[in-house]
Amino acid sequence: MSALRIKGKQDPKVPYRVLNWRDYNRGLVKRGDLCLWIEDGIEDRWYSVETPNRRGRRDKYSDAAIECVLVLKSLFGLPLRQTTGLLASLFKLSGLDLEVPDYSRISRRQGRLSPSIKLPKGIRSKPIHLVLDGTGLKVFGEGEWKVREHGAGKRRTWRKLHLAIDAGSGQILTALLTQRDTHDAEPAPDIIRSLVKQGYDIKDFRGDGAYDAHRVFLTCLQHGIKAIIPSREGAILSSEKYENAMDNTWPRDEIVKRIREIGKGGWKTESGYFKRSLVEMAIYRYKRTFGDRLSARNLENQRVEVALRASMLNKMIKTAKPKTEKRIK
């Protein structure tokens, strides 16, 4: 948790302690259980029975089979060849008479999948406190040590991952992958509209200063969502910029006025802005679990990769989530 700076004074960091350590520890161990990641009844859905909506013969393996291989690949950080070997040995030990798709077939099929991020039941019926942030994921490029010592090479390619989470449950609602030069605020309106269309009851939206954009505030206003976004340095009221502006009824104007009155640190405390740090924790969990690099090479496969990983993180946090409280000295 980051320290707050209010009126020139810096508050010390508040330590927390885990209250359910025993259950949390068991859950962390369970995350490595293969039975958790291979769904029950997968043998009945391993081969495809659907008629293709394209020319050519029917796929031999179902989408569930391809997803199963890709989940194990991301979970254990294995290349596709080793993942198929792992799954073949599991089927042999389990006595299942199932064939494992070839690694080249999996790579071709990956981009055709349309995985939805799996969420706990009933989450749409609860109020959502939406938090959004972006981070970079490497595709090509050297390690950080080489860049620091010898400079960056020419072949450095990145993608930008936009994660939207519910601050209450910690569940990832959206994992959108875009080109590296996409500004954080660009996909935010589409993400908000998509979640509203899916039936989520979004109460408020939190984002850092990068989301201080007219289109973000307008989208929140249209859907009755409270925008909790800090204004940038030197921000002015609408009436100070436009002669025919409304009498400071624009939601951003209220934030600018309040920051002028009590300072940015005071406004962040008053508005509950610091819940935004939860999305940074989600980004940390993503990179700590799967690394900061994408294994797929084309954008379609990469989008499927991050969607599956987001579903896996949701399953992990459902399996083991710490309950904490402030430690009183």
pLDDT in tens, 65-115: 999 999 999 999 999 999 999 999 999 998 889 999 999 999 999 999 998
How far from the centroid of its chain's Cα atoms is residue 261's Cα?
34
Asked if residue 258 is part of any domain, the answer here is yes
Query: What is residue 66's predicted lDDT score, i.e. its pLDDT?
Result: 95
Residue carrying structure tokens 């291979």: 38
Q: Side chain identity at 137, as an amino acid letter?
A: L
Q: Specify whether 107 is located in the same domain as 166.
A: no
Range of the domain at 36: 11-113+298-329
**How are beta strands 9-10 and 5-6 bridged, if at all?**
antiparallel
Condensed to tens digits (0 to 9), the pLDDT of residues 164-222 reads 999 999 999 999 999 989 999 999 999 999 999 999 999 999 999 999 999 999 999 99
Q: State the Cα–Cα distance between residues 220 and 114, nearest whole angstrom.
A: 28
- 176-to-163, 190, 191, 301 alpha-carbon distances in Å: 7, 11, 9, 13
Asked if residue 267 is part of any domain, the answer here is yes
Q: Specify whether 308 is located in the same domain as 160.
A: no
Asked if residue 322 is part of any domain, the answer here is yes
Structure tokens at 198: 């899916």
Residue 176 in contact with residue 196, Cβ under 8 Å?
no
Structure tokens at 262: 């009590």
Mean pLDDT of 215-242: 88
Structure tokens at 224: 């009755």
Q: Specify whether 210 is located in the same domain as 255.
A: yes
Q: State the Cα–Cα distance between residues 139 and 293, nearest whole angstrom.
A: 6
pLDDT, mean over the chain: 87
The answer for residues whose C-beta is within 8 angstroms of residue 131's C-beta and 6 or more apart is 164, 165, 166, 167, 205, 206, 207, 275, 276, 278, 279
Q: Specify whether 89 is located in the same domain as 228.
A: no
Q: State the Cα–Cα distance between residues 65 and 106, nearest whole angstrom.
A: 9
* Helix pair 299-319, 103-110: axis angle to 10 deg: 90
Q: Specify whether 108 is located in the same domain as 139.
A: no
**Residue 313 CB neighbour total at 10 angstroms:** 22
Q: Specify whether 245 is located in the same domain as 134.
A: yes
Asked if residue 6 is part of any domain, the answer here is no
Q: Specify whether 53 is located in the same domain as 195.
A: no
Asked if residue 163 is part of any domain, the answer here is yes
Q: Specify whether 158 is located in the same domain as 278.
A: yes
State the total domains in the chain.
2
Kind and range of the H or E element at 107?
helix 103-110
Q: For residue 120, is pLDDT > 90?
A: no
Query: What is residue 35's predicted lDDT score, i.e. its pLDDT?
Result: 87
Q: Specify whether 95 is located in the same domain as 137.
A: no
**How are beta strands 127-140 and 157-166 bridged, if at all?**
antiparallel
Q: Specify whether 172 is located in the same domain as 58.
A: no
pTM: 0.86
First-residue to last-residue Cα distance in the chain: 17
Asked if residue 4 is part of any domain, the answer here is no
- CATH number of the CATH domain containing 212: 3.30.420
Query: What is residue 239's predicted lDDT score, i.e. its pLDDT?
Result: 72
Kindly tell me the sign of the dihedral angle through the C-alpha atoms of 302, 308, 313, 316: negative
Q: Specify whether 159 is located in the same domain as 269.
A: yes
Asked if residue 320 is part of any domain, the answer here is yes
pLDDT top residue among 150 and 181 = 181
Asked if residue 290 is part of any domain, the answer here is yes
Q: Specify whether 33 is located in the same domain as 60.
A: yes
Nearest to 224 by CA among 186, 255, 246, 192: 192
